[in-house]
Amino acid sequence: MSLSELGDELKRRAGALQALRQQHASRLHRVEELRERAKELDEAVMILQALQVEWREGFQRAVGAVVSKGVAGVFDDTEIVVEMGVSGELPNARFRVRNADGLETDILDADGGGLVNVVCFLLRVLLLLSARPPLRRLLILDETLSNLSEDRLPAVVALLRRIVDEGGFQILLVTHREQLADAGDVVYRFAKVGDRTTIELVRRTNPAEGM
């Protein structure tokens, strides 16, 4: 190899080495960028986790307060405690009942199921109120309040009327409990006669509006 060729080869190798150094520097810079992004993402995740905890705590307090307010009109000295969390990457919620003495029991063990009926009904109301975009405030209840004892029915009637009158809801209620019909603006009675079903208009309080 002549000196000229050797010089060209050295220049080529020097150029290749310089290119490798530039690639190495570029990759180091890229690695540093990725590290910074990973750090930012970790910080963002930490912030979101903190916000999630704060939001969940605030949301569960708000749900508990609203439901407790509705329940209090039917079940005296009763407060609903809500605990929200995540199980298997899915959100879940636990409801407990706290009495005037501060004693807590699982909601499923409370008041023979009637309390569960009322709480579930109020949660459906909250769901419609919080929906975005807003949904039509229409509830269809088919024997939803069937486990309530007779002495609770007048208070439930008052609760239904309040939700309709103050909340702008329409409620279509199917029930065998005639006392609950006292909440209705329009009441129909269905009866099975042989192989036919008869429909009787019992009351129409306000022809322009229906419950």
Q: Is the pLDDT of residue 175 over 90?
A: yes
pLDDT at 112: 67
Which helix (H) or strand (E) element contains residue 107?
A: none
Sequence-distant (6+) residues with CB within 8 A of 177 are 145, 146, 148, 153
Strands 104-106 and 79-87: unpaired
Which helix (H) or strand (E) element contains residue 145?
A: none
pLDDT at 25: 84
- Assess if residue 4 is contained within a domain: no
- Assess if residue 159 is contained within a domain: yes
Mean pLDDT computed over 61-77: 85
pLDDT at 171: 95
- Assess if residue 146 is contained within a domain: yes
As for how many domains the chain has, the answer is 1
pLDDT for 27-48, tens place per residue? 888 788 778 767 766 776 676 5
Which helix (H) or strand (E) element contains residue 192?
A: strand 186-193
- Assess if residue 63 is contained within a domain: no
Sequence-distant (6+) residues with CB within 8 A of 204 are 185, 186, 187
Mean pLDDT computed over 132-147: 89
- Assess if residue 125 is contained within a domain: no
Say which range, 18-27, 54-63, 146-155, 184-193, has the weakest mean pLDDT. 54-63
Reduced to 3 states, what is the DSSP secondary structure of residue 202? strand
On average, the pLDDT of the chain sits at: 83
pLDDT for 151-166, tens place per residue? 999 999 999 999 999 9
- Domain residue limits at 140: 136-211
pTM score:
0.66
Give the pLDDT band (50/70/90) at residue 52. Answer: low
Burial 5-15 (b: 16+ CB within 10 A, else e): eeeeeeeeeee
Reduced to 3 states, what is the DSSP secondary structure of residue 207? coil
Sequence-distant (6+) residues with CB within 8 A of 126 are 63, 66, 67
- Domain with residue 174: its CATH number is 3.40.50.300
Q: Is the pLDDT of residue 1 over 90?
A: no
- Assess if residue 98 is contained within a domain: no
DSSP 182: G
- Assess if residue 8 is contained within a domain: no
Mean pLDDT computed over 88-113: 80
What is the strand order of the sheet 79-87 is part of? 79-87, 90-98, 104-106
- Assess if residue 110 is contained within a domain: no
